[in-house]
Structure formats: structure tokens, C-alpha cells
């Protein structure tokens, strides 16, 4: 080896641990994760529930979510590890069954979210190519994301940022259409104050609450930022700013987009559409061919949904991995592929559970179950996450005064109580409105229980912690 | 010469470190930097299969996993001669290894590569390949020994 070896220089940052996630990246991570999950998929349902004033539902929903985000920011700056809610609940209550329940709920919520997003993906895909059946499209979509995740393409921070820009661009198109529509003098601002009380919900308050409940799926996703907590530079500064800031920006975008949609498209049309934001583009308000705009917008929506689904599919095997390392679920979930360093068993398992959700959901719908699969799975996600959010806020309050040696972000206490009440109110209403979603929640939590029992009865102690990759041995 | 030994927490990377020690002349090696790269956006940001350390659920820390892998690899060179640095970086594995090689003016980068069979030949773009292509210095890629053939009966 030709060796022009220089004098070994002592570099200044010797021994320092380098982190890579800057505040800016964290902001885009939050924004991308939150924005993709739902507005493209669910805006029709929200419009149907509330009427022209459905922007109020988005505004209130995002407020509750942002307060919850503040609780997360406080906890993440105190305990900057990747485990998120499970860790906080464990620190606060020290109760293993409760910790297990929260972890499994989180896993179940994430799986239901992937399912809902995959169905939403199929709806937008249908506008590009209506050949294949929706179920097939969503199954292939999930399978592809599992493969992409296995290979590790998802790990590019820049790709993440690029996808977020595309997502925002899509929503900007809707905004521009709204603004052009207003300047053309066609907008009837009266729509924005109309609350539909003729439908299922007799009073305006109930209608708005229903809207919040449906729209809340669009607020979720910020909890996944705990994934990168450990690798964030200066988390004390960047977390509150990026997490809460990301939520506020997302909320602003939501409110403006809802207004633009309500002004340009009759509410009934939005309510009856599977891909509601497309209706805005189809109005032909911009001087481009409607076909071109529809295609462009569909592609953008597909990218947005993909971005968010990717994060959910990254998170699931991670949760399983953490539990397997500690012998809570079978050790096989701690298996790491020797080359790709991916938890491949957990990935395949997560993909399989999401796929069966899609298949079962489609079968139930076809058997005349009369459910909207996107809405049902979104509701399941929302029920589970609202319960987790409420517990996290309680954990945040309970952990006050502990582990406060290092600087941490302190969320405003009265606001936390408001957030707690808000989460519980939406949770109560969501269950009241759709009690069947509890069956789905129970089914998904049952998967966690089965895994636990499998490890309890058949697992051997310590298999998880070694995570053997049998075929590579020392030479 | 400054040698970089990269670890992804795999046992193959431990084998790579031992391989370096088996033939290299410790008097020619001035310094060794053991580097682990945490991938923040990956499902499992870092998994350590080289040591028996047990993570405590649910606060399992990927930093701790990276630290224990780096410790295990560094222990291979205990008492061998050269000064050993332990370093943990964060980001894309290949990029960070290449950056470190430039930054430390490395004379050699040691990486482990792949397993055997399908996954290795079908999936391109592995860390080792990218390091080979873009490193500013020679690269030692330690591959797993082929499986012993079963004697034909």
C-alpha cells in the first residue's frame, strides 16, 4: 500500500459524539410527517361532518395536537431516547403492564395508520390508472415500502426533505387556486361560517366535534419525531422549536387549505369524493389543462402519502425490536439482517399485519359492512393515539420535578391541562360516534397480546439480547 | 499510518478488525480510529451484535448500542501498540466513513462486507461498495469465509 502517511494529527473534536439531525431537518421531518397523514385522504369526511365551516375543525384539532406536541417536546428534552411514549410512561408510572399496553397501542395505531394511508394511496392512484383493483394497489404499495425500508433507501435525510417540499407544494397549489378564485370574485365567504346541522349531528358543537374527530388523523405523526431524538443536535433548543413550530405551520396550512377547498368546491362534492382535494384542482380555475393539473396533483398526493407511510413503516419494526431485546415479544423480532442491518423479521411482520388489515377491511366492506375503510382505520389510529397522547400529558405532569438536572423545555402547565381535556373529549366523542372502531382496536391489541404470550410460553430467556446472525462468524 | 476500522455492529465487522490485526504490522500503524455510524432514520438506528450487553426496555438507546460495539472492536486492539480512538458518528454510513477517512487523513479503511448468497448479489449499493468507490485511500474489505461445502456422500 503506497503510504504517504502524514503525521497523525490530533483533531480538535476528539472523542466527541457527532449528531446529525439539525433543528431545520427536524422541522421538516415533523412537517412532512404531519402534513401527509390525512389532509389528502380525509378532507372529504371532515367536510361531510361539519359543512362549509370545516376549517374550524382543523384549527381546533391542530391546537390540541400542538399542545400535546409541547408535552412531547418537554419529555423528549428530558429523556432523549427513541422509545417515545413507552419510555415516558415507564418513567412516570413504573408499571410494566401499562408500559406494555401503551407500546402495543402505539404499534397498533401505527399499523392502522399505514393501512388507512395505503387505502388513500389507492384512491389517488385510481385517478392516474384505474385498471387494477384498489386492494391490489394498496397491497403492492405496502409491499414496496417494506422492501424499500429493508434496503434502507428511506434513510436519506435529503430525500425526506425533498418529499416534504413536494407535499407543501401540493397544498400550495390548492391555496393558489383558492386565491385566484377569490380575485375572480367568485368566492362566497358565507360558506366559511356554515355549519351543517341537518345531518347526523344535531347541534353545531357536535358537528364540529365530529369534524375534529375525523380530522385528527391529519394531526398525528408528530410523535414519531422521538425516533430521531437521540441524534438531534442540541435537542433542548431544537425540539420545542421544530416540533411545536412544525405543528403550527401544519395547522396554518390546514386551515388555509380547508378554506380554499370550501370556497372553490361545493361542500357536497367534497363530501362525496374519495380524493377530495382533487376536486379543487378539477374546477379548472387555473389556466392550465385540467388533465395536466389532475395528474400533477395526484402524483404530489401520492408522494405525500408515501412519505408519511414510510415513517410509520420505519417505526413499527423499531418498536418490535425494542421489545424483543428485552424478551417482551419473541426474540426473532430482534433479528437484524447481517448485510442490510434492517430488522427484517419485524418488517415483514408489520407488512403482513397491515396487509391483513387491508384484506379484512375490504372483505367487510364488500360483505355490506357499510364502512369506509379509510375512515375506519383512521378512526382506529385516532382512538389509540388520543389515549396515548392523554397518558403522555399525564406522564409529563407527573414527571415534573424529576430528572431536571439538564436543561429541558418546560411546557405551559395550564395549556397541558387544556390539551388533556381536549384529547379526552375528542377520544370520548370518537368512541361514542363509532363504537365499532373499538373492535378493530381490540383486534390489533390482540396481536400484541399473542406475541407476548408466544414469548412467555415458548420464548427462551435472553434470545433477544444476543440477536444472533448465525451465518457470519469471526474469521 | 492512520487506520479507520468501521463497524456496523455486525460480527463480520469484528472479524474484519481481527483480520487487520492478524497481518498488519503494529509498528507501521500509528493510530486506529474505530468508527460506528448511527443511521437516525433507519428502523433500527444501530444494532450491536458483537457484545452481550443487554438493553433495558423501553429506554434502549442506539447510542449505547453504538458505544458498546465500538468498545468491543477497540478491545481487539488492546495492547497491540497503536493509539486507539473510539468515534461515533451519525448519518449515512458510507458518507460518514468516507468523510472520516478524509478528515483523519487515513491511510487505510477497513470495512466488513456482506453476507453470502442472494441478498449480497441482488441488492446493490451496500456501504462497503460505496466506501470502495469513493474512499480517498486504500480500502480493505473483509468478506465472510465461504461456507464449508458438505462432502459429497
| Domains, chain A, with CATH or none | 23-464 (1.20.1740.10)
Q: Is the pLDDT of residue A473 over 80?
A: no
Chain A nearest-CA distance from B153, in A, is: 24
Whether the CB of A475 is below 8 Å from some CB of chain B: the reply is yes
**Residue B81 falls inside a structural domain:** yes
Which pLDDT band holds residue B124 (cuts at 50, 70, 90)?
A: very low
Q: What is the pLDDT of residue A5?
A: 38
Q: What is the pLDDT of residue B115?
A: 55
**Residue B152 falls inside a structural domain:** no
According to DSSP, residue A403 is labeled S
Q: Is the pLDDT of residue A77 over 80?
A: yes
**Residue B104 falls inside a structural domain:** yes
Chain B residue numbers with beta carbons less than 8 Å from the beta carbon of A342 are 42-44
Q: Is the pLDDT of residue B148 over 80?
A: no
Domains held by chain B: number: 1
Q: What is the pLDDT of residue B11?
A: 87
Q: How many helices (H) and strands (E) does chain B have?
A: 5, 5
Q: Is the pLDDT of residue A102 over 80?
A: yes
* Cross-strand partners of B89: B37
Q: What is the pLDDT of residue A463?
A: 46
Nearest to A227 by CA among B60, B37, B7: B60
**Residue B25 falls inside a structural domain:** yes
* Cross-strand partners of A21: A232
Q: What is the pLDDT of residue B147?
A: 67
Interface contacts (A, B; CB < 8 Å): 196
Q: Is the pLDDT of residue A155 over 80?
A: no
Q: What is the pLDDT of residue B151?
A: 63
The pLDDT tens digits for A361-398 are 888 888 876 667 888 888 999 999 999 999 999 999 99
Grid coordinates representing A432 are 361514542
According to DSSP, residue A154 is labeled G
User: Pick the residue with more confidence: B52 or A250?
Assistant: A250
Q: Is the pLDDT of residue A136 over 90?
A: yes
3-state helix, strand, coil in chain B (%, to 5): 35, 20, 45
The pLDDT tens digits for A391-410 are 999 999 999 988 888 888 89
Rounded to whole angstroms, how far apart are CA atoms A157 and A21?
9
The arithmetic mean of pLDDT across residues A132-148, rounded, is: 92
By Cβ distance, the residue of B57, B63, B116 closest to A322 is B57
Q: What is the pLDDT of residue B6?
A: 93
Which pLDDT band holds residue A427 (cuts at 50, 70, 90)?
A: very high
> Which of A40-44, A87-91, A438-442, B85-89 is the least confident region?
A40-44
DSSP A291-340: HHHHHHHHHHHHHHHHHHHHHHHHHHHHHHHHHHHTTSS-GGGG---TTT
Q: What is the pLDDT of residue A369?
A: 65
Grid coordinates representing A437 are 372502531
Q: Which of A17-21, A151-155, A264-268, A337-341 has the highest mean pLDDT?
A: A264-268
- Enumerate residues 312 to 331 of chain A having a beta carbon within 8 A of any beta carbon in chain B: 314-315, 317-318, 321-323, 325-326, 328
Chain B nearest-CA distance from A313, in A, is: 8
The pLDDT tens digits for A198-255 are 767 778 888 899 899 988 998 998 998 888 888 898 888 899 999 999 999 999 999 9
Q: What is the pLDDT of residue A187?
A: 81
Rounded to whole angstroms, how far apart are CA atoms B83 and B95?
24
Q: What is the pLDDT of residue B59?
A: 62
Chain B nearest-CA distance from A117, in A, is: 19
Q: Is the pLDDT of residue B119 over 60?
A: no
Substitution target in B15, B23, B46, B57 with the highest count of A β-carbons within 10 Å is B57
> Which of A10-19, A153-162, A203-212, B124-133 is the least confident region?
A10-19
Rounded to whole angstroms, how far apart are CA atoms A351 and A364?
20
- Enumerate residues 217 to 246 of chain A having a beta carbon within 8 A of any beta carbon in chain B: 227-228, 230-231
The arithmetic mean of pLDDT across residues A45-66, rounded, is: 92
Q: How far is the CA of A153 from the CAs of A149, B9, B43, B54, in angstroms?
A: 6, 19, 11, 29
Q: What is the pLDDT of residue B33?
A: 95
Substitution target in A338, A399, A462 with the highest count of B β-carbons within 10 Å is A338
Rounded to whole angstroms, how far apart are CA atoms A446 and A246?
34
User: Pick the residue with more confidence: A326 or A126?
Assistant: A126
Rounded to whole angstroms, how far apart are CA atoms A100 and A121?
31
Q: Where are the alpha helices (DSSP H) in A399-469?
A: 413-433, 437-458, 463-466
Count of Cβ atoms closer than 10 Å to residue A96 Cβ: 12
Q: Is the pLDDT of residue A84 over 90?
A: no
Q: Is the pLDDT of residue A470 over 50?
A: no
Q: What is the pLDDT of residue A176?
A: 92
Cross-chain Cβ contact B18/A472 below 8 Å: no
**Residue B11 falls inside a structural domain:** yes
Q: Is the pLDDT of residue A13 over 50?
A: no
The chain-wide mean pLDDT, for chain B, equals 84
**Residue B129 falls inside a structural domain:** yes
The arithmetic mean of pLDDT across residues B49-57, rounded, is: 66
> Which of A40-54, A68-82, A101-115, A342-356 is the least confident region?
A40-54
Q: What is the pLDDT of residue A475?
A: 34
Cross-chain Cβ contact B119/A20 below 8 Å: no
Q: What is the pLDDT of residue B56?
A: 55
Whether the CB of A440 is below 8 Å from some CB of chain B: the reply is no
The arithmetic mean of pLDDT across residues A27-35, rounded, is: 88
By Cβ distance, the residue of B8, B52, B58 closest to A87 is B58
What SS3 class is residue A246? helix
CATH for B50: 3.40.50.620
Which pLDDT band holds residue A127 (cuts at 50, 70, 90)?
A: confident
**Residue B120 falls inside a structural domain:** yes
Chain B residue numbers with beta carbons less than 8 Å from the beta carbon of A1 are 107-108, 138
Q: What is the pLDDT of residue A354?
A: 95
Contacts for A420 with CB less than 8 Å, ≥ 6 apart: A390, A393, A394
Grid coordinates representing B89 are 458518528
Q: Which domain holds residue B117?
A: 2-142
Chain B residue numbers with beta carbons less than 8 Å from the beta carbon of A317 are 43-44
Cross-chain Cβ contact A154/B114 below 8 Å: no
**Residue B121 falls inside a structural domain:** yes
Q: What is the pLDDT of residue A316?
A: 92
The pLDDT tens digits for A288-297 are 888 888 888 8
Which pLDDT band holds residue B58 (cuts at 50, 70, 90)?
A: low
Amino acid at each position: 500500500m503506497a503510504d504517504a502517511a502524514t503525521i497523525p494529527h490530533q483533531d480538535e473534536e476528539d472523542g466527541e459524539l457527532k449528531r446529525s439531525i439539525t433543528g431545520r431537518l427536524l422541522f421538516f421531518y415533523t412537517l412532512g410527517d404531519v402534513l401527509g397523514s390525512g389532509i389528502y385522504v380525509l378532507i372529504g369526511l371532515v367536510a361531510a361532518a361539519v359543512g362549509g365551516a370545516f376549517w374550524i375543525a382543523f384549527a381546533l384539532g391542530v391546537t390540541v395536537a400542538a399542545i400535546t406536541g409541547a408535552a412531547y417536546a418537554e419529555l423528549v428534552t428530558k429523556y432523549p431516547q427513541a422509545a417515545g411514549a413507552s419510555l415516558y410512561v415507564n418513567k412516570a408510572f413504573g408499571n410494566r403492564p401499562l408500559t406494555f399496553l401503551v407500546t402495543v397501542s402505539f404499534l397498533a395505531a401505527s399499523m392502522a395508520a399505514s393501512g388507512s394511508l395505503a387505502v388513500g394511496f389507492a384512491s389517488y392512484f385510481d385517478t392516474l390508472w384505474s385498471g387494477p383493483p384498489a386492494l391490489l394497489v394498496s397491497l403492492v404499495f405496502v409491499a414496496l415500502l417494506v422492501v424499500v425500508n429493508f434496503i434502507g433507501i428511506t434513510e436519506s435525510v435529503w430525500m425526506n426533505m425533498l418529499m416534504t417540499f413536494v407535499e407543501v407544494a401540493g397544498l400550495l397549489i390548492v391555496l393558489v387556486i383558492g386565491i385566484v378564485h377569490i380575485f375572480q370574485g367568485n368566492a362566497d365567504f358565507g360558506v366559511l361560517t356554515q355549519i351543517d346541522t341537518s345531518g347526523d349531528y344535531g347541534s353545531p358543537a357536535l358537528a364540529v366535534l365530529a369534524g375534529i374527530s375525523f380530522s385528527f388523523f391529519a394531526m398525528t405523526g408528530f410523535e414519531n419525531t422521538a425516533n430521531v431524538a437521540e441524534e438531534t443536535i442540541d435537542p433542548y433548543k431544537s425540539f420545542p422549536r421544530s416540533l411545536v413550530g412544525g405543528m403550527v405551520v401544519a395547522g396554518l396550512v390546514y386551515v388555509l387549505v380547508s378554506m380554499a377547498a370550501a370556497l372553490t368546491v361545493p361542500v357536497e362534492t367534497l363530501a362525496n369524493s374519495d380524493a377530495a382535494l382533487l376536486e379543487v384542482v378539477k374546477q379548472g380555475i387555473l389556466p392550465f389543462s385540467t388533465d395536466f393539473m389532475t395528474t400533477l396533483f395526484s402524483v404530489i398526493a401520492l408522494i405525500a402519502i408515501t412519505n408519511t407511510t414510510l415513517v410509520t413503516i420505519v417505526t413499527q419494526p423499531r418498536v418490535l425490536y425494542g421489545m424483543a431485546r428485552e424478551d417482551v415479544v419473541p426474540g426473532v423480532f430482534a433479528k437484524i439482517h447481517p448485510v442490510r442491518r434492517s430488522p427484517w423479521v419485524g418488517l415483514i411482520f408489520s407488512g403482513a399485519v397491515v396487509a391483513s388489515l387491508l384484506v379484512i377491511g375490504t372483505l367487510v366492506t364488500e360483505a355490506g359492512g357499510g364502512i369506509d375503510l379509510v375512515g375506519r382505520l383512521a378512526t382506529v389510529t385516532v382512538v389509540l393515539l388520543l389515549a396515548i397522547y392523554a397518558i403522555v400529558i399525564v406522564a409529563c405532569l407527573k414527571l415534573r420535578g424529576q430528572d431536571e438536572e439538564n436543561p429541558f423545555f418546560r411546557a405551559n402547565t395550564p395549556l397541558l391541562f387544556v390539551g388533556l381535556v381536549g384529547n379526552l373529549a375528542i377520544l370520548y366523542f370518537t368512541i361514542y360516534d363509532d363504537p365499532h372502531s373499538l373492535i378493530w382496536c381490540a383486534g390489533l391489541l390482540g396481536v400484541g397480546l399473542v406475541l407476548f404470550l408466544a414469548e412467555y410460553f415458548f420464548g427462551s430467556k435472553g434470545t433477544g439480547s444476543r440477536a444472533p446472525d448465525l451465518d457470519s462468524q469471526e474469521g | 499510518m492512520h487506520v479507520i476500522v468501521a463497524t456496523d455492529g455486525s460480527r463480520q465487522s469484528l472479524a474484519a478488525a481481527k483480520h487487520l490485526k492478524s497481518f498488519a504490522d503494529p509498528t507501521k500503524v500509528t493510530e486506529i480510529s474505530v468508527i460506528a455510524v448511527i443511521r437516525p432514520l433507519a428502523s433500527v438506528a444501530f444494532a450491536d451484535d458483537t457484545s452481550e450487553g443487554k438493553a433495558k426496555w423501553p429506554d434502549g438507546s442506539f447510542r449505547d448500542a453504538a458505544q458498546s460495539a465500538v468498545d468491543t472492536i477497540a478491545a481487539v486492539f488492546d495492547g497491540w501498540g497503536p493509539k486507539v480512538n473510539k468515534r461515533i458518528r451519525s448519518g449515512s454510513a458510507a458518507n460518514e466513513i468516507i468523510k472520516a477517512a478524509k478528515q483523519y487523513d487515513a491511510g487505510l479503511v477497513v470495512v466488513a462486507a456482506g453476507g453470502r448468497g442472494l441478498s449480497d448479489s441482488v441488492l446493490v449499493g451496500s456501504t462497503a461498495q460505496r466506501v470502495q468507490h469513493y474512499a480517498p485511500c486504500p480500502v480493505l474489505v473483509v468478506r465472510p469465509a465461504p461456507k464449508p461445502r458438505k462432502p459429497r456422500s
